[in-house]
């Protein structure tokens, strides 16, 4: 299919390349079109999914599913979780209120340049995206926040004190290449 730039536009929310008529007009915009597609606009306004609750689930699942497979999308998702723990989510008390947290941009840059993250991420993707293998963020010093120098990527299964404290179990996991602890932890 030949794609003519001027007839299509990528919506930065759903990341889909869509025909221009799938975007509302906007006289103020250079392109003459709104930034987000019609569906996403509705989604953002919550209208569409209030009318079609069953579609909300599908949309969320598909979008997250795709996005989660990209380095940046994955890191952004991880950051949202971290942020929710510190700031709390709508109406809920934060888990770690008052803890310091770096900016989203800094976190994504940090992750993209972190070798152990890339390795864990690729392993997780290639091996069926098992929940236990998913890269998660560990605060090296639990007293400190999600700040530079205090964050490392480890597999989800390792990010529980029970597993970490059970040296024998840990060793078995390492020997069987189930987990890839970062270098200093192996020594
Ligand atoms: Zn969209």
Compute the distance from residue 85 Cα to the ligand 1 centre, in Å. Answer: 28
Q: Which residue has the higher pLDDT, 20 or 91?
A: 20
CA of 44 to the centre of ligand 1 (A): 10
User: 16-25, 78-87, 167-176: lowest mean pLDDT where?
Assistant: 167-176
Over range 149-176, report the average pLDDT: 71
Which residue matches tokens 């987000």?
36
CA of 33 from ligand 1 middle (Å) equals: 13
Neighbour tally for 35: CB within 10 Å: 15
Compute the average pLDDT of residues 4-29.
82
- Please give the distance, rounded to the nearest whole angstrom, from the Cα atom of residue 18 to the centre of ligand 1: 8
Distance 97 CA to ligand 1 centre (A): 33
Domains in the chain, start-ordered, CATH in brackets? Answer: 5-59 (3.30.60), 68-186 (no CATH)
CA 67–ligand 1 middle distance (angstroms): 13
Convert the pLDDT of each residue in 12-23 to its tens digit.
888 888 888 888
List C-alpha distances in Å: 123 to 13, 68, 116.
27, 14, 10
Q: Sorting pLDDT into bands at 50, 70 and 90, what band is 162?
A: low
Q: State in Å: Cα 84 to ligand 1 middle.
A: 24
CA 157 to chain centre: 18
Distance 35 CA to ligand 1 centre (A): 9
- Ligand 1 centroid, distance to 14 Cα (angstroms): 4
Question: According to the model, what pLDDT value does residue 166 have?
Answer: 63
Distance 94 CA to ligand 1 centre (A): 30
Answer yes or no: is pLDDT of 123 > 50: yes
What is the CA(60)–ligand 1 centre distance, in A? 12
State residue 23 phi and psi, 5-degree precision.
-120, 140
pTM here is 0.57
Given the DSSP bridges, would you call strands 23-25 and 33-37 parallel, antiparallel or unpaired? antiparallel
15, 39 contact by CB (below 8 A): no
Cα 155 off chain centre by: 15
What is the 112 CA–ligand 1 centroid distance (Å)? 25
CA 95, CA 162: separation in Å to the nearest integer?
19
| Whole-angstrom distance, CA of residue 124 vs CA of residue 136 | 11
In this model, does residue 46 exceed pLDDT 90?
no
Query: Buried b vs exposed e over 143-155: b needs ≥16 C-beta within 10 Å?
Result: eebbeeebbbbbb
Q: How would you classify residue 132: left for phi > 0, otherwise alpha for psi between -120 and 50, otherwise beta?
A: alpha
Confidence band (pLDDT; 50, 70, 90) for 2?
very low
More confident residue, 30 or 154: 154
The better pLDDT of the pair 169, 157 is held by: 157
């Amino acid at each position: 299919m030949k794609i003519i730039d001027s007839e299509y536009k990528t919506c930065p929310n759903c990341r889909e390349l869509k025909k221009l008529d799938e975007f509302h007009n906007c006289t103020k915009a250079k392109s003459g079109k709104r930034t987000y597609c019609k569906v996403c606009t509705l989604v953002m306004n919550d209208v569409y999914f209030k009318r079609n609750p069953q579609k909300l689930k599908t949309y969320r699942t598909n979008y997250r599913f795709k996005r989660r497979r990209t380095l940046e999308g994955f890191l952004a998702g991880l950051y949202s979780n971290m942020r929710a723990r510190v700031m709390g989510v709508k109406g809920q008390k934060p888990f770690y209120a008052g803890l310091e947290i770096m900016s989203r941009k800094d976190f994504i840059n940090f992750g993209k340049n972190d070798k152990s993250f890339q390795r864990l991420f690729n392993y997780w993707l290639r091996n069926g995206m098992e929940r236990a293998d998913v890269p998660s963020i560990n605060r090296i010093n639990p007293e400190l926040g999600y700040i530079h120098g205090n964050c490392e990527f480890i597999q989800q299964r390792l990010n529980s004190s029970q597993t970490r404290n059970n040296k024998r179990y840990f060793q078995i996991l390492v020997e069987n290449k189930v987990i890839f602890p970062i270098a200093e932890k192996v020594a």
